[in-house]
Chains A and B, each alone.
Chain A
Amino acid sequence: MKKVIQYPTLGDEFYFQWHLTERCNLKCLHCYQGANPISELPLKDLLVILNKMEEALTKWGKRGTLSLTGGEPFLRRDDLHALMERFDSSNCVAYYDILSNGSLITVDEAKALSLHPSLRRVQVSLEGASAERNDQIRGKGSFEDTLRAIRNLKAEDVDVSVMMTITRNNQDQIRPMVDLLKNEGVRIIALERLVPEGRGVELSDLLLSPDEFHALCDDIYQIAVNNGSVRILMHRPLFGLVAPDDPTVGALCSAGNNALTIMPDGTVYPCRRLPISIGNVLTDGFYKIWYGSDVLWRLRNPKELNKKCQECDIRLNCRGCRAMAYFSTGDLMGEDPQCWH
């Protein structure tokens, strides 16, 4: 049933992060969700959006890659599977991932997921390598629930990755986490920085300083090149400072370049961590948003960068995390407060 995924080359790829719901059965302390609920579109409107995606991808000559997520996307299980089925038959979409907290991925759910040929992997989240450390952030029982999801998915040969949001409180957990994932047969871990937004504002004191983040990135890189089986995804702004000559490390943020985030009501953001509305896909369409948004044009233009980023010698290849700048300084084009360069 699994089809061989034809991976797009970097220049051919356009990425959509699609949030089907903001509802979630967990209340993680660091979550980027705010307090205001967002309405959900019915399946028929989601399919309209999907058609618009395919039309745009065809026009742009791009291959689509997607993350289907929430909230917790399995709270809209039937709609999620309906979309997946439609994407499975799409000629425009190379693959999609599901980003989930894992709590609803039962044995039966894992079996159902294994039947979707274009599903590349399911990403679940852990914040620590033990129940004690993880559940402080994600809630009691979530560690065991997530491990169960990983095992259910592995049993059905569905690829799994783990996402971890780095704060001062769990920076010591990266090596233990890699060891845990090795034991669980998970091959990929993605690391993201905490952005002080949504509920995460309350954790602002846990943001790493530039020096702390520098030291941590050095450690992460050493773990990445020496650990063997677990691949640490380091295609993120600032990681590139650690090993400028290593092409697997660091990347220009995709916001404004080759990615869009779609919210449950059709609102479009440059990135989920940068919740500035740049239109609604149902009323505006992708073309008007992608070609016309002033926010996107600012993000694309390195001349718009302010402060330290403006003078930086690697601004064409880095520009930091705009969400970090926005929420830490109030300036979308300000400097990334964790940059040590």
Chain B
Amino acid sequence: MLALNPDSRFQLEEDILLQAIPELDHYYAFNTKDGDNFQLNHTAHWVLTAITRGVNYSGLMEGFLKEYGLDKKTAEEDVRETLQYALNNQIIKEVKP
């Protein structure tokens, strides 16, 4: 179970590139070193893009709620699921304080 607090921060792993063709609803994360590639949905791509801007978990949730207009519980589940997936696949890593 991913432990999250308001100050939790993440960053993209080295060699990870995010790409998107919004017009076609195509969203990706790529590892340019080992070639791994991940097809993402819009929300997962939004979360990973927000992470590149250096926001903490609190800021991430605030932005996510505003962007998608979800109830807080659903939003937290979605973000947590995305973060867990990205950690499991070495797309992001947690930044230790």
Interface residues of A (CB under 8 A from B): 55-56, 59-60, 285-288, 291-292, 297, 300-303
Q: Are B35 and A297 in contact (CB-based, < 8 A)?
A: no
Q: Are B21 and A301 in contact (CB-based, < 8 A)?
A: yes
Q: Are B23 and A288 in contact (CB-based, < 8 A)?
A: no
Residues of A within 8 Å of B23, CB to CB, are 301-303
Q: Are A59 and B17 in contact (CB-based, < 8 A)?
A: no
Given A287-B30, A291-B30: A56 and B35 within 8 A (CB)?
Answer: yes
Contacting B31 at CB < 8 Å: which of A56, A287, A302, A303?
A287
Min distance, Cβ B23 to any Cβ of chain A, angstroms: 4
Contacting B17 at CB < 8 Å: which of A56, A292, A301, A303?
A292
B4-20 near A? 1/0 per residue, CB < 8 Å: 00000000000001010
Tell me the chain B residues, 31-46 only, with Cβ under 8 Å from chain A: 31-37
Given A301-B24, A302-B24: A287 and B33 within 8 A (CB)?
Answer: yes
Given A56-B35, A59-B36: A291 and B21 within 8 A (CB)?
Answer: no
Min distance, Cβ A82 to any Cβ of chain B, angstroms: 26
Residues of A within 8 Å of B21, CB to CB, are 297, 300-301, 303
A288-B32, A291-B37, A301-B21 known, 19 other contacts, Cβ within 8 Å:
A56-B35, A60-B35, A60-B37, A285-B32, A287-B30, A287-B32, A287-B34, A287-B35, A291-B17, A291-B28, A291-B32, A292-B17, A292-B30, A297-B19, A297-B21, A302-B23, A302-B24, A303-B21, A303-B23
Min distance, Cβ B73 to any Cβ of chain A, angstroms: 35
Q: Name the CB-closest residue of A to B16.
A: A291
State the interface size on chain B (CB cutoff 8 A). 14
Contacting A55 at CB < 8 Å: which of B24, B32, B35, B36?
B35
Interface residues of B (CB under 8 A from A): 17, 19, 21, 23-24, 28, 30-37
Q: Which 6 A-B pairs have the closest CB atoms?
A: A291-B30, A59-B35, A303-B23, A288-B32, A287-B35, A301-B21
Q: Can you list 12 A-B pairs with a CB-CB distance of less than 8 A?
A: A55-B35, A59-B34, A59-B37, A60-B37, A285-B32, A286-B35, A287-B31, A287-B33, A291-B17, A291-B28, A301-B21, A302-B24
Tell me the total A-B contact number using a CB cutoff of 8 A: 36
- Rounded to whole angstroms, the CA-CA distance of A59 and B36 in the bound complex is 7
- Rounded to whole angstroms, the CA-CA distance of A285 and B31 in the bound complex is 12
- Rounded to whole angstroms, the CA-CA distance of A292 and B28 in the bound complex is 11
- Rounded to whole angstroms, the CA-CA distance of A288 and B23 in the bound complex is 23
Min distance, Cβ B83 to any Cβ of chain A, angstroms: 22
Residues of A within 8 Å of B30, CB to CB, are 287, 291-292
Residues of B within 8 Å of A292, CB to CB, are 17, 30, 32
Residues of A within 8 Å of B17, CB to CB, are 291-292
Min distance, Cβ A64 to any Cβ of chain B, angstroms: 14
Q: Are B19 and A291 in contact (CB-based, < 8 A)?
A: yes
- Rounded to whole angstroms, the CA-CA distance of A115 and B21 in the bound complex is 45
Residues of A within 8 Å of B37, CB to CB, are 59-60, 291
Residues of A within 8 Å of B33, CB to CB, are 287
- Rounded to whole angstroms, the CA-CA distance of A285 and B35 in the bound complex is 10
- Rounded to whole angstroms, the CA-CA distance of A306 and B23 in the bound complex is 15
Min distance, Cβ A103 to any Cβ of chain B, angstroms: 39
Residues of B within 8 Å of A285, CB to CB, are 32
Q: Name the CB-closest residue of B to A296.
A: B19
Min distance, Cβ A306 to any Cβ of chain B, angstroms: 14
Residues of A within 8 Å of B36, CB to CB, are 59
- Rounded to whole angstroms, the CA-CA distance of A302 and B24 in the bound complex is 8
Residues of A within 8 Å of B24, CB to CB, are 301-302
